[in-house]
Structure 1
Amino acid sequence: MEAVLDPKRLERDLETLLTACEQHLSRFDRSLITRAFHLCVDAHHRTIRASGEPYYTHPFAVGIILARELPLDDVSIAAALLHDVVEDTDYTIEDIRAEFGATVAEIVDGVTKISGVFNSHVITQAASYRKLLLSMVNDVRVILVKFADRLHNLRTLEFLPPHKQQRMARETLDIYAPFAHRFGLGNVKWEME
C-alpha cells in the first residue's frame, strides 16, 4: 500500500523539526535539515509503517528525539532523517555523500552497518554485540542516532505483532539499555527499560 502524503502535514512537520532545532541547538544549518527532510520524504514516499503512518514519520520522529531529548548537532539530525534511506530504498551511500557530505554519509553508513550486524543474528550474546558495536563505530553520533531510532520504535511498538514486540523488548533490555547507561543517558535507559 502506498502512503498518501498531505502537503500541509509535510510543511507542518518540517516546521516542527526546524523549530525544535532552533529551540534546542546552539546553531544549525536550516538548509541541511530541510534538504535531508525532503530527501527522506521523497525516498520513502511509497512506504507506510505498521501503524499506517507514512514511513517518513519514523525518521522525522528520530530527528525530533535528537533535537529535543538528546540535543545533538544538525549533522546528526540530518543523518537521522536519512538513516533508513540507504537500507530501504534505491539511494546509495554515495548519493548521500554527494548531497550531504562525508560526515552525514558516515553516520548513515554506521547506523546501516549496526542494523545489518544486528539483523544478521551472527552475534548471539549481548556483551559480544556491545563490544563489536564499540569497535566498529568511529563516531559516537552513530550510536546516539541508533538510540533515538530504537526509542521511536519502542514508542510505536503496539503496532507490531507480539513476537516482534518481544524480540525488540529483549534486544533493548540486553543491548540498548546497558549502552544508554554506559553513555550516561539515564532518561533513555529508564524509558528503554
Structure 2
Amino acid sequence: MIGASTHRHGRQTVALSGTLIAALRSCAPQGLRAPANSMQFAGKNHRSLAIGPKMCLNRAMASLPNLVEKALAFATEAHGSIGQLRKYSGEAYINHPIEVMRIVKTAARYTDVMLAAALLHDTIEDTPVTNDDVEREFGTDVATMVMELTDQCHQGNRAMRKAAEAARLGMISPNAQTVKLADFISNSASIVEHDPGFAMKYLREKMQVLEVMTDGDAGLYARAVAQVEAARETIGFRL
C-alpha cells in the first residue's frame, strides 16, 4: 500500500494509510495524566468531579482492601451524579459497567485491576471524572487501563474517527482488550435488540475493531464474533 505504514502487534499485521496515521497521531494521549482539575473529550471541558457528601463514601472506602468494591462505589457515584441512564432501557447507567465486569469474570484469566477497570471504563469518557481522579483513587495500573479503554479519537468525520480508534485499540494491552471485548458484548446485545437500524452501522464498525483487536481473551473474542454473526441473521445486514 502506497503511503502506508505497517504495525505488527500480536498475531496481526495492520496496514495503516497515511491519512489514518495522521488521524491516529491526533488521538494519541499525551502521557497518561490529564491536565490538573480538568479534562477534554468530545470537544467539551469538564471540571474534576467535586467531592461532595456522597463522594465521602469513596474516601471512607479508600482504606478497604477490596479494589473492586471501591471501584463499584466510585463508578456508581460518578455516573449517578450526572443522572446518566442507559440509552434504550432508561435504567441506571451503572448496570452496564457491572455487566461488563461480570463478562470479564467469564474470561480464562482476569485480575482485580481488570475488574476495577471494567467498572470504571466509562467514567473518564462520560462523566467529569479525570484520569488524575482515577489514578489518585486506584493507582497507576487501574488508571492506565481505564485510559486504554477511553476513546481518544475525536478528529475528522465518523469514519475517520472510528478507523483511528480501531487502530488504537489494536495496540492496547491484552488485558485491556479483554475488557473492551466484554464492553462490546454488553453494548451489542442492547443495540441489536432496541435499535436494529443503527446496529448495522455499529456492528460493521465493531468488526473493524475485531479484525485488529486479537490479543484479548480467546473465549470472549469468539463470543463477540459469534454475536455479530447472529445479528447478521437477526437483522439481516452484510459486512
* TM-score, with length taken from structure 2: 0.58
Q: 1:67 to 1:78 in 2, by over 3 A?
A: same
- Please give the per-residue CA displacement for 1:36-93, whole angstroms capped at 9, x wherever unaligned: 0001111111111121211000011000000124541110110010000011111101
5+ residue gaps, structure 2: 1-63, 230-239
1:80 and 1:119 mapped to 2: Cα distance? 28
Q: 1:68 maps to which residue?
A: 106
Of 185, 196, 199, the residue aligned with 1:165 is 199
Larger proportion of helix: 1
Give the whole-Å Cα distance in 2 for the aligned partners of 1:119 and 1:189.
Answer: 26
Partner of 2:188: 154
1:186 partnered with 2:222: yes
- The verdict on how the C-alpha distance between 1:146 and 1:57 changes in structure 2, with shifts beyond 3 A counting, is same
Q: Larger radius of gyration, structure 1 or 2? A: 2
The separation in 1 between residues aligned to 2:103 and 2:151, in whole angstroms, is 21
Question: Where in structure 1 are there 5+ consecutive unaligned residues?
Answer: 1-28
Find the residue that maps to 2:160 and give its secondary structure. Answer: coil
When you count strand as a share of all residues, which structure comes out higher? 2
Q: 1:169–1:39: structure 2 CA closer, same or farther, 3 Å change rule?
A: same
Name the aligned partner's letter for residue 91 of structure 2.
E
* TM-score where L is the length of structure 1: 0.70
Q: Which residue of 2 aligns with 1:113?
A: 151
- Equivalent of residue 47 in structure 1, options 61, 84, 92: 84
Seen in structure 2, the aligned counterparts of structure 1 residues 52 and 150 have a Cα distance that, compared at 3 Å, is same
Question: What is the count of residue pairs matched by the alignment?
Answer: 160
Indicate if the aligned counterparts of 1:93 and 1:105 stay in contact, CA closer than 8 A. yes
What is the aligned-residue identity percentage? Answer: 28
* Aligned amino acid, residue 138 of structure 2: F
- 2:152 & 2:184 partners in 1: Cα distance? 12
Structure 1 residues 74 and 86: CA distance shift in structure 2, 3 A: same
Residue 191 of structure 1 and its aligned partner are, at CA, apart by 2.6
